[in-house]
Structures are given as C-alpha cells and as structure tokens.
Amino acid sequence: MKNLQTFFICFIFLLGCDSSDKQVNNSNVEEWQQLFNGKNMDGWTPKLSGYKMGDNFNNTFRVTDGLLQSSYSEYDTFRNEYGHLFHENKFSHYRLRAEYRAVGKQAIGGAGWAIANNGLMLHCQPVETMTLNQEFPLSVEFQLLAGNGKDERSTGNLCTPGSHVTLNGEFFEPHCVNSSSKTYHGDQWVTAEAIVYGDSIIYQLIEGDTVLTYTNAVVGGGLTGLDTLKFPEGKRMTEGYISIQAESQGFDFRKIEVLDLCGCMDKKAKNYKSYFTCSRPESCVFE
C-alpha cells in the first residue's frame, strides 16, 4: 500500500511538472495578428490627396482574389492622387511582416521615381489628422521597390516623409537612403519585416536578412500640408499607425501581420509572453 501511495504522489507531481512546462511553452508562442483578413478592407481606412478620409477614389484600394491591392485599373491618368491605406490599430513596439509584389504597368502620369514603388509606413500620424491635400503622412517609410529586369535596385530602403532618424551614428536629414538588399525583379513575391522598438531602434529585413538599421525617429518638418502645431519639429516618434501606399503603381499584398511586443510582463499572469519588450501592466490577466 505504501508503494502504491508513493506511486500516486509521484504521478501527480509529474502531472504538475508537465502542466508547468506547458505554461512556460505557451509563454513563448508568438501570437501574430492578421491585419488583412483576406476578404475585405475591414479595419483599414483610405486617404488620398485631394479627397476626404474614407473616400476611396477610383477604387484605388481593393481586395481581389484574396489580395489587398493598390490598383489603377479605373484611372485614365494619375494626377498626383497619392494614397495611403491606414490600419486602425496603433503600435509602438512590434514586428510587422508583409508579403508583397509589384504588378502591371505604372499608371499614365506617374512620376519616374514611383515606378514599382510602394511602402510600409511606420509610426504614421493618425489618418484623421491629415489635411485634405497632404500627399504623404508623417511617418518613417520602409520603402518597397521592384527591379526592371536588368538594373540593380535595392528594396527595403528608408525614406523620411516629415521625419528624421539617426543613421550610422549621425543625424540623417536626406529624404531617402538605399538598403543593402539585393534586387527583386518583376512580380515575384518578397517578404519584408520591420522590427520596431518605439523610437529607440528600427530594423528593416528583406527575406530574413537585416538590410537597414536606424534609431531615434523624430518629427523633422518640411512635409507639405502637415499641421506643425500638432506635430512640432523634434518631437519623438514613439508610436503610430501602419499604412501602405498607392503612388501610381499596382501592388499586391497577400499577407500583412503584426506581433505586438507590448503586453503583460508579469510572469504570474495568464497572458504573460516572454517576448514582450514593452510593459502594459493594465493588460495582465490573473484569473
């Protein structure tokens, strides 16, 4: 009988250890949020230059065959209706991953620099704060480019609409800088990922390789149409919204997802995650 009691005690102990291990393992499981549901543009708001927020002029942004698109099939001529599609959620510390490709020909009237050009706009100002004729949101742009089939053209570049960063230890004021990525020609699918830690550091990756790193994003001024009273020069860009572009070139996105790095960092909580880098104590769940 004594041996049987000992067996049951050990068995219960082992079950407890297994449960604990599962809890530890669950804390490491990454919970990615799908920003694009593959069906419609729920959670997204368009803003095109010259049009009010929510006016999707010429059906520029659409969902076709499970793809989120910027499209110019209903345009006769592009007349600087630069557009951005904003997601409703705001983030500060996060990983953003997207699969994209350039498609078709550029719309008539598009600028030379806009050929096969799109971008993941990070730390965007709220869409409702954009003025009517503002062409680009205050943001840090993770630029997405496709090659023409023969010339080198890096993707994963950095552009700074209304912003400045620190690059290689120096305050960076030019508008764009190329990354170290290789060229991806034509309409092949490419995976881009941004790892963002507030305004402290941002990594840009293409197909898993880090191609650009910069720090200390701040409002830089000089963006036409920006309300400088709301966004004074030098203000730290610690958080913001995510948007994609429409600049006269068709683009497809088949996946846009985010891993929020902010959350409960109390190991006793049920929703603790080991990968969180930004604490939100109010989000902790203990029961």
CATH number of domain containing 185: 2.60.120.560
* Residue 178 within a domain: yes
User: What's the CA gap between 40 and 61, in Å, rounded?
Assistant: 10
Confidence category of residue 287, pLDDT binned at 50, 70, 90: confident
pLDDT score for 221: 84
* Residue 60 within a domain: yes
User: What's the CA gap between 144 and 127, in Å, rounded?
Assistant: 21
pTM, two decimal places: 0.91
* Residue 24 within a domain: no
Residue 149: φ, ψ to 5°: 100, -10
* Residue 282 within a domain: no
Q: Would you say residue 17 has pLDDT above 80?
A: no
* Residue 35 within a domain: no
pLDDT score for 68: 98
Q: Mean pLDDT, the chain, as a whole number?
A: 93
- Out of 9-23, 26-40, 97-111, 257-271, least confident range: 9-23
Q: Where are the beta strands (DSSP E) in 129-189?
A: 140-145, 157-159, 163-167, 170-172, 176-177
Number of structural domains, the chain? 1
**Closest Cα partner for 260 from 236, 242, 287, 243?**
242
* Residue 281 within a domain: no
pLDDT score for 225: 95
Question: Which sign does the torsion angle of CA 82, 247, 239, 39 carry?
Answer: positive
Q: Calculate mean pLDDT across residues 175-195.
A: 97
Structural domain boundaries enclosing 248: 40-262
What pLDDT digit, counting tens, does each position of 136-156 carry? 999 999 999 999 999 999 999
